[in-house]
Amino acid sequence: MPSSMSASLPTAKHRELGLTDAEYELIVAGLGRDPNDVELAMFSLLWSEHCAYKHSKKLLRRLPTEGPRVVMGPGENAGAVDVGSGYSVAFKVESHNHPSAVEPFQGAATGVGGILRDVFALGARPIAILDSLRFGELDSERTRYLFDHVVGGIGHYGNSIGVPTIGGEVYFEAPYETNCLVNAMCVGLARTERMVRAAAAGVGNVIVLMGATTGRDGIGGASVLASAELEEGDEKRPTVQIGDPFEEKKVMECCLELLDRDLLVSLQDLGAAGLTSSASEMASAGGVGIDLDVARVPLRNPDLEPFEIMVSESQERMLAVVEPEKVEAVLEVCRRWETNGTAIGEVTAGDAIRILRGDEVVGDMPVALLVDDCPLYDLEPEAPGEWIYGNRRTLEASDPSEVLLALLGSPTIASKRWAFEQYDSIVQSRTVRRPESADAAVLALAETGSAIAVSIDGNGRRVACDPYLGTIEAVLECASNLACVGAEPLGLTNCLNFGNPEKPTVAWQLDQSTRALADACEAIGVPVVGGNVSLYNETERGPIYPTPVVGMVGELPSPEGLPGLALRDGDSIALAGPFVPSLAGTELAKLRGELAPKLADFDPAEIAETIAAVRETVRRGGLRMVHDVSDGGLACALAECAIAGDVGLDASLGDLMSNRGGNAEAWLFGEGPGGFVIAGEVAEVAKVVEEGLAVPIGAAGGSAIRIGAGDVSLSVSVADATAAWHSLAGRMDEESQVTAP
């Protein structure tokens, strides 16, 4: 039996660590005794919401996870899909919401570092980063501070390590004021035969820790912060991990060399819960036990107690399983890369994880109890009877021209150039379509002679209006963005950001959203290969919007000849798809303070067919511009294309109104899935129209954006539209000396 590390724990200690009385009783029953300090700390983290998914795991079983191109699916560090020629693309999205709300620069930076490790833990070299961000309204000092420092943290880490940030999205909505969302996605490329899994294997094999030294930074960090409602104040700031991208670069190159030389049995990153999570999950996946000696762990703080070593979330660390005869070769590579390679344990027979301090046993627990036996909870969902997020009217204008300029200048719709220009989007020389040049980022794969497209999407406001339809829209939006560059979806990853699931309304949102995610993936035929759940995103002011974020990777035959967003003088313009807009849940409804629990219905199967048809049309070639209709509606989509090409346009929506119904304002500014603006030479667009996929609506030319919808029309100069769309940079530059509020 393990020795007691200190005096008996206070009766309520488990509650302070986030365990309920019932959960503590299960631990005692499973061990046959009370846990000591080390064991209780380990259980408190592995049985936390962040690690155990105890309120969402049952719902996630709904998701389709199999497909002909899936190489690795849920349960691994990241998902992976086959892209041919012996290569696979690995990808995953994860959240770092609570740490970023507490310390935005380091929270965002270490979020990037963590998702990079998830990808190269498989043996894939990271080739791209995307980010999906949510903040409060931009007129808030706190929002500007968080936005400024989150962008700085992402740029610092990605730029320093040499991985391009190629895409993303930023929304500004009041419910994210005190609880921002920072979701980071990484994409990597690997030789399929060189990829490894995270399962420990081989009794007698050696456990090697490599990377940064272990310190107190991050103790009780992501795993605890992401498992309870966030309290306002600075008292949790010390729990946020500190990142070092230059250390991560060494660790990454070291690991990739070790894998390339076939020196590792398995590899796992140390993220939330540190050594506790990585060692226990490796043991569980492999059906083996593990002994770890904390006395061998290289420490930054020499006075660390064993429980602190086991739960530290210090960054830039990896855990490997190595055959005994290869240990010296592994350590030699680690010495060359200066990554502190150290043998700290071994794989054992049976089902126990033992924590040693030299010859002293300070923790001894069944692996199954730690990893698999955390209780899973059933939700008690209840739909709200009304809109629960409040409304704030900020737009009084009714003139369509003024409304268009207001929408283009709305921070959610406006150009995010201020942010993405702080990121290196072309390092590694793969980037074919960078931010704001197409609806999806495109990377060339010289290794396979083909290309991939990547997009990340979500709209929490619309999901709040209707969790089921809003989530389906998010999946369709992501697939639509891929279709705009001719890419076929191969796999999907997701990050489900919600409030407290113990509350009936949030439980209902989560239940509806996961059901919709499953249905949408079935509709477009794309498997879910991995993801992340982030719950308890709320403060005493209330929950965030329910925000499922969807990341998707698609395949293109070639990176050549892809359409972009820019119109050219003389282009013919048409609208493809069965788009029927509605003002419910739109950006315009938000600006007018008219949000309500309602979205217009649509047929996902019909939209999926349109997405496939647009994809094939793009692949055929000939179209110069393809852009899906999204935030701000058709008028904003047309204006964005005019701005990109610095050319005006004339468009008429009267025939669409007559044939499909709806009023002028809805056709100008309404939203919904299934709409694509296409443009190119007259003959090429006419061909698409003749095939029945699109309806002609106008032509590019002049210096003004003129759109008519029945007896309603608008006209704004391209110069004024451009100024409105680029207004975000001016607002942030005015706050260039933003400090913590």
Q: Determine the distance from the C-alpha atom of residue 701 to the mean position of all C-alpha atoms in its chain, rounded to a whole number.
A: 39
- DSSP secondary structure letter of residue 732: H
What does the alpha-carbon distance between residue 534 and residue 506 come to, in Å, rounded to a whole number?
A: 12
Confidence of residue 241 (pLDDT cuts 50, 70, 90): confident
Pairing of strands 125-135, 165-172: parallel
Catalytic residue among 14, 55, 96, 156: 96
Q: What is the pLDDT of residues 134-160, one digit of tens each?
A: 999 999 999 999 999 999 999 999 999
- DSSP secondary structure letter of residue 342: E
Confidence of residue 237 (pLDDT cuts 50, 70, 90): very low
- DSSP secondary structure letter of residue 93: E
Pairing of strands 694-700, 649-652: antiparallel
Catalytic residue among 50, 98, 149, 156: 50
Q: Per residue in 593-607, is it b (16+ CB within 10 Å) or e — as a string? A: eebebebbebebeeb
The pLDDT assigned to 712 comes to 96
What does the alpha-carbon distance between residue 272 and residue 241 come to, in Å, rounded to a whole number?
A: 10
- DSSP secondary structure letter of residue 9: P
Confidence of residue 224 (pLDDT cuts 50, 70, 90): very low
- Does pLDDT of 11 surpass 90? no
Q: What is the pLDDT of residues 346-368, one digit of tens each?
A: 999 989 999 999 999 999 999 99
Mean pLDDT, the chain, rounded, equals 93
Q: Is 96 a catalytic residue?
A: yes
Q: What is the pLDDT of residues 290-333, one digit of tens each?
A: 999 999 999 998 999 999 999 999 999 999 999 999 999 999 99
Contact call for residues 315 and 113 (beta carbons, < 8 A): yes
The pLDDT assigned to 510 comes to 98
CATH architecture of 383-408+563-732: Alpha-Beta Complex (3.90)
The pLDDT assigned to 5 comes to 36
Which CATH number is associated with domain 16-47+197-378?
3.90.650.10
Q: Radius of gyration (Cα) for the chain, nearest Å?
A: 26
- Does pLDDT of 618 surpass 60? yes
Determine how many CB atoms are found less than 10 A away from the CB of residue 454.
Answer: 27
Determine how many CB atoms are found less than 10 A away from the CB of residue 335.
Answer: 12
Q: Determine the distance from the C-alpha atom of residue 637 to the mean position of all C-alpha atoms in its chain, rounded to a whole number.
A: 24
Q: What is the pLDDT of residues 548-585, one digit of tens each?
A: 999 999 999 999 999 999 999 999 999 999 999 999 99
* Mean pLDDT computed over 447-454: 97
Q: What is the pLDDT of residues 99-137, one digit of tens each?
A: 999 999 999 999 999 999 999 999 999 999 999 999 999
The pLDDT assigned to 469 comes to 98
3-class DSSP state of 103: coil
Contact call for residues 345 and 233 (beta carbons, < 8 A): no
Contact call for residues 319 and 208 (beta carbons, < 8 A): yes
Q: Is 50 a catalytic residue?
A: yes
Contact call for residues 529 and 74 (beta carbons, < 8 A): yes
Torsion over CA: 695, 701, 705, 711 (sign):
negative
* Long-range CB pairs of 419-425, under 8 A, 24+ apart, other chains included: 419/147, 419/151, 419/170, 420/165, 420/168, 422/151, 422/152, 422/155, 423/129, 423/154, 423/155, 423/158, 423/159, 423/164, 423/165, 424/155, 424/158, 424/159, 424/162, 424/164, 424/165, 425/164, 425/165, 425/166
Q: Would the CATH topology of 16-47+197-378 be identical to that of 383-408+563-732?
A: yes
- DSSP secondary structure letter of residue 56: T
Which residue from 129, 110, 399, 145 is spatially nearest to 271, judged by alpha carbons? 110
Contact call for residues 571 and 651 (beta carbons, < 8 A): no
In the chain, domain spans: 16-47+197-378, 383-408+563-732
The pLDDT assigned to 740 comes to 59
3-class DSSP state of 253: helix
Residues 6+ apart with CB under 8 A from 691: none
What does the alpha-carbon distance between residue 560 and residue 241 come to, in Å, rounded to a whole number?
A: 42
Confidence of residue 13 (pLDDT cuts 50, 70, 90): confident
Q: How many percent of the chain have pLDDT more than 70?
A: 95
What does the alpha-carbon distance between residue 263 and residue 486 come to, in Å, rounded to a whole number?
A: 39
Confidence of residue 233 (pLDDT cuts 50, 70, 90): very low
- Amino acid identity for residue 617 in this structure: T
Confidence of residue 234 (pLDDT cuts 50, 70, 90): very low
Say what angle helices 141-161 and 727-734 make with each other, to 10 degrees.
Answer: 100
The pLDDT assigned to 734 comes to 66
Contact call for residues 101 and 178 (beta carbons, < 8 A): yes
What does the alpha-carbon distance between residue 259 and residue 517 come to, in Å, rounded to a whole number?
A: 35
* Mean pLDDT computed over 232-251: 74
Residue bearing tokens 């795993």:
223
Phi then psi for 327, rounded to 5 degrees? -60, -45
Give 88's strand partners.
Answer: 82, 190
pTM recorded for the entire structure: 0.94
Confidence of residue 735 (pLDDT cuts 50, 70, 90): low
Say what angle helices 718-725 and 400-409 make with each other, to 10 degrees.
Answer: 40
What does the alpha-carbon distance between residue 264 and residue 595 come to, in Å, rounded to a whole number?
A: 54
Confidence of residue 272 (pLDDT cuts 50, 70, 90): confident
